[in-house]
A = this chain, B = another copy of it.
Amino acid sequence: YREFYQCDVDVIGSKSQVNELELVQIVDKVFGLLDVNVLVKINNRKVLTGFAEICGFPDKVVDITVAIDKLDKIGLESVEEEMREKGLTDGAIAVIEQILKLSGSTSEKLASMRSLMNGGSASGLVSETGLKGLDELEELFGLIDAAGVKCPVEIDLSLARGLNYYTGAIFEVKAVDFQIGSICGGGRYDNLTGIFGLPDMSGVGISFGADRIYDVLKGLDKFPKSLASSTTLLFACMGAEELRYVLPVAAALRSEGVSVEVYPEPSKLKKQFDYAEKKSIPFLSINGGNEAEAGTIQLKNLTTGEQKSFSKADISGMKAFMNM
């Protein structure tokens, strides 16, 4: 993934968290359609700032976040060791420990964090920015709850994703059944458009990591089988005369939405069979002089071996045979 494709969705110019909600709804819908179970994790930059403030180290947001991020991997003691190395005092670390030990539902976590930010932590410090961040998280989870989203959405305090960049909500999406890191990420940026000469224009966006999502679909074998072959039926080519006989039938099937290929030149039947197999084309039609004379079309299901003869005008019968 040193070079990769991403599909971005961004809303610029509105501060409303309805936009954050819509991004979550889009994630929910996309992965619902792809039949991939995902978990949406949400954090808020202002809450991270709040933690640093109630620790008494407002300038160490990045150090604290980087350390918290390793909790799963290295455990609480090592996280605290790392913060100590970065110059945090035991008192500050005690505050972080209070945060990391929070548990319960989203609303319980939000309530506990609110109490800590409001002077209830070991330091007794209050963070207005942190409280603002909690208001935002609470509003967003309220909107998600009201609108109804199928996939699970949870708070993850270790989310940072380019901390200097985001100013409000921070998002990350993980595939539940496949280990690959995050497959989407994003957040709100209050002045990103400033560098393009459009100052004070808040925006929020999310990026879909196309290559990783591709690998998830491949790994979980979720690619729609219909994508493997775009052709449903191959008409074999037996000769110039037979070709003219099948062309109108091919055209009629196509105009009814059936994806049809006509093998372009008379070749050995083995070669035409192999072509159908290689391209995973499920149905083959071989028609020679007898069929042309009788006005019939042969269809063969290459999976089951079943074969049937149709009147050349019986397009709907042929479609039914091909389950269309």
Contacts and interface: CB of A to CB of B under 8 A. Distances in A.
Interface of A: 11, 14-16, 18-19, 21-22, 25, 29, 139, 142-143, 146-148, 237, 240, 243-245, 247-248, 250-251, 254, 262, 264-265
How many copies of this protein are present in the complex? Answer: 2
Given A14-B264, A147-B250, A148-B247, 5 more contacts: A18-B264, A21-B247, A25-B251, A139-B240, A147-B248
21 contacts: A11-B264, A14-B264, A16-B237, A18-B237, A18-B262, A18-B264, A18-B265, A19-B264, A25-B251, A25-B254, A143-B243, A143-B244, A143-B247, A146-B243, A146-B244, A146-B247, A146-B248, A147-B251, A148-B247, A148-B248, A148-B251
Contact of A18 (B243, B245, B251, B254): B243
Contacts of A244: 142-143, 146
Main secondary structure of the interface of A (DSSP, over half): helix
A177 B22 CA distance: 44
Contacts of A254: 25, 29
Nearest to A19: B264
Contacts of A148: 247-248, 251
Contacts of A245: 146
A251 to B, nearest CB: 5
Nearest to A265: B16
Contacts of A25: 251, 254
User: Chain B CB within 10 Å — which of A18, A19, A143 has the most?
Assistant: A18
Contact of A15 (B14, B19, B265): B265
A66 B123 CA distance: 90
A30 to B, nearest CB: 13
Contacts of A19: 264
A16 B264 contact: yes
Contacts of A142: 244
A15 to B, nearest CB: 7
User: What 10 pairs between A and B have smallest CB-CB spacing?
Assistant: A16-B264, A147-B247, A16-B265, A146-B244, A18-B264, A14-B264, A146-B247, A147-B251, A148-B251, A148-B248
Contacts of A247: 21, 143, 146-148
